[in-house]
Amino acid sequence: MIASIKRYLRKQVFYPDALGVFVNPFFFARRGLVKEIKAVSAAITGRILDVGCGSKPYQSLFNYTEYIGVDIENPGHDHSQEQVDVFYDGKRLPFPDHSFDSVISNQVFEHVFNPPEFLAELYRILKPGGKLLLTVPFVWDEHEQPNDFARYSSFGIQAVLKQAGFEVISLTKSVDDIRVVFQMITLYVYKKTVTRNNLLNRVIVLVLISPWNILGSLVHWILPRNRDLYLDNIVLARKPA
């Protein structure tokens, strides 16, 4: 019973269902992100490289022949709960040219201090005609300090991808409605109240944050969308054949 509850709570971190309003302080962001990744996941196939993979939370969404996760080894970061196959130095990916059919990089690009060099590496290791799925925040607080360097508008992320030689196939904006405001409120509350005690944090989310999650879930059906205010960019691009 306890093991089942733990599995359910772990799933709620990246795949929140309706009950996630009670346990996930990032409910709107995570729910919106997985929805939009699923919508384009069919384009990401074959041999896949997940850059900045962490725990590979979205691996199950893709149809692949091989799935490799690469990340930067950080002595100050606990990698024990992650699924990194290959560590690299943050500069050159340790793979030959044209090694992968697809590359994904989720919520990593804002932490890249040298975007042209980073994108050049993704371009290099992709096969001609290969696909890139990139997700990057537009509205979010500073996080993983001090390694948080940028926010990208839909125009900005498309521009840097095109400058790197990619063709943008599609761009989707996640959570482009009043839920952006509610997510910022819950993020503020969580960051000001979070403790080192996981059980206490669960109580905090249930008592202080879930009412905002519930209210935002209801209100967004009434108020109009705002295409200029949203949480994340989900970009599908291609290396020209």
SS (H, E, C) the chain: CHHHHHHHHHHHHHCCCHHHHHCCCCHHHHHHHHHHHHHHHHHCEEEEEEECCCCCCCHHHCEEEEEEEEEECCCCCCCCCCCCCEEECCCCCCCCCCCEEEEEEECCHHHCCCHHHHHHHHHHHEEEEEEEEEEEECCCCCCCCCCCCCCCCHHHHHHHHHHCCCEEEEEEEECCCCHHHHHHHHHHHHHHHCCCCHHHHHHHHHHHHHHHHHHHHHHCCCCCCCCCCCCEEEEEEECCC
What residue segments make up the domains of the chain, in order of their start? 2-238
Over range 146-154, report the average pLDDT. Answer: 95
pLDDT tens string 163-221: 999 999 999 999 999 999 999 999 999 999 999 999 999 999 999 999 999 999 999 99
pLDDT tens string 58-114: 999 999 999 999 998 765 555 566 788 999 988 899 999 999 999 999 999 999 999
pLDDT tens string 51-65: 999 899 999 999 999
What pTM does this model have?
0.93
Q: Is the pLDDT of residue 130 over 80?
A: yes
Q: Letter for the amino acid at 4?
A: S
Alpha-carbon separation of residue 33 from 64, 73, 196, 216 (angstroms): 20, 25, 27, 17
pLDDT at residue 79, as a whole number: 59
Q: Is the pLDDT of residue 222 over 70?
A: yes
Alpha-carbon separation of residue 233 from 134, 151, 157, 224 (angstroms): 8, 10, 8, 20
181 vs 144: which has the higher pLDDT:
181
Confidence grade of residue 140 (pLDDT, cut at 50, 70, 90):
very high
pLDDT at residue 160, as a whole number: 98
**Residue 25's closest CA among 33, 34, 16?**
16
Tokens 């890249």, residue?
Answer: 112
pLDDT at residue 3, as a whole number: 77
Handedness of CA 4, 26, 69, 79 (dihedral sign): negative
Q: Residue-wise over 38-73: b if at least 16 C-beta within 10 A, else e?
A: eebbeebebbbbbbbbbebbbeebbeeeebbbbbbe
Q: How many CB atoms lie within 10 A of CB 236?
A: 22
Q: Is the pLDDT of residue 2 over 80?
A: no
pLDDT at residue 200, as a whole number: 94
**Residue 132's closest CA among 29, 240, 205, 60?**
240
pLDDT at residue 89, as a whole number: 87
| CATH, domain range 2-238 | 3.40.50.150
